[in-house]
Amino acid sequence: MSSVLPPCPEPEERIGEPQQLLRLGPAGDEPCLRADAARNRARLLDAAARLIAEHGAAGVTMEAVAAAANVGKGTVFRRFGDRTGLLTALLDHSEQKMQAAFLSGPPPLGPGAPPVERLRAFGTAMLRRCVDEMDLLLAAEPGPERRYAVPARRVHHSHLALLLRQVLPDADHELLAHTLMGYLNPGLVHHLTRQCGAPLERLERGWSDLVDRVTGA
**DSSP sequence for 107-176:** TTTSTTS-HHHHHHHHHHHHHHHHHHTHHHHHHHPPPHHHHTT-HHHHHHHHHHHHHHHHH-TTS-HHHH
Same domain? 128 vs 38: no
Specify if 18 maps to a domain.
Answer: no
Q: Are 10 and 161 in contact (CB under 8 A)?
A: yes
Q: Which long-range contacts (C-beta less than 8 Å, at least 24 apart) are formed by 104-108?
A: 104/13, 104/19
Q: What is the pLDDT of residue 149?
A: 87
What DSSP designation does 149 have? T
Same domain? 159 vs 59: no
Q: What is the pLDDT of residue 135?
A: 85
Same domain? 71 vs 98: no
Same domain? 63 vs 159: no
Residues in the chain: 217
Same domain? 196 vs 125: yes
Quote the pTM value.
0.73
Residues of the chain with pLDDT under 50: 1-5, 8-20, 25-31
Same domain? 131 vs 208: yes
Range of the domain at 31: 27-81
Q: Which of these three, 81, 115, 148, is where a domain ends? A: 81
Same domain? 42 vs 95: no
Same domain? 187 vs 92: yes
Q: Give SS3 for 217.
A: coil
Q: What is the pLDDT of residue 143?
A: 81
What DSSP designation does 57 have? G
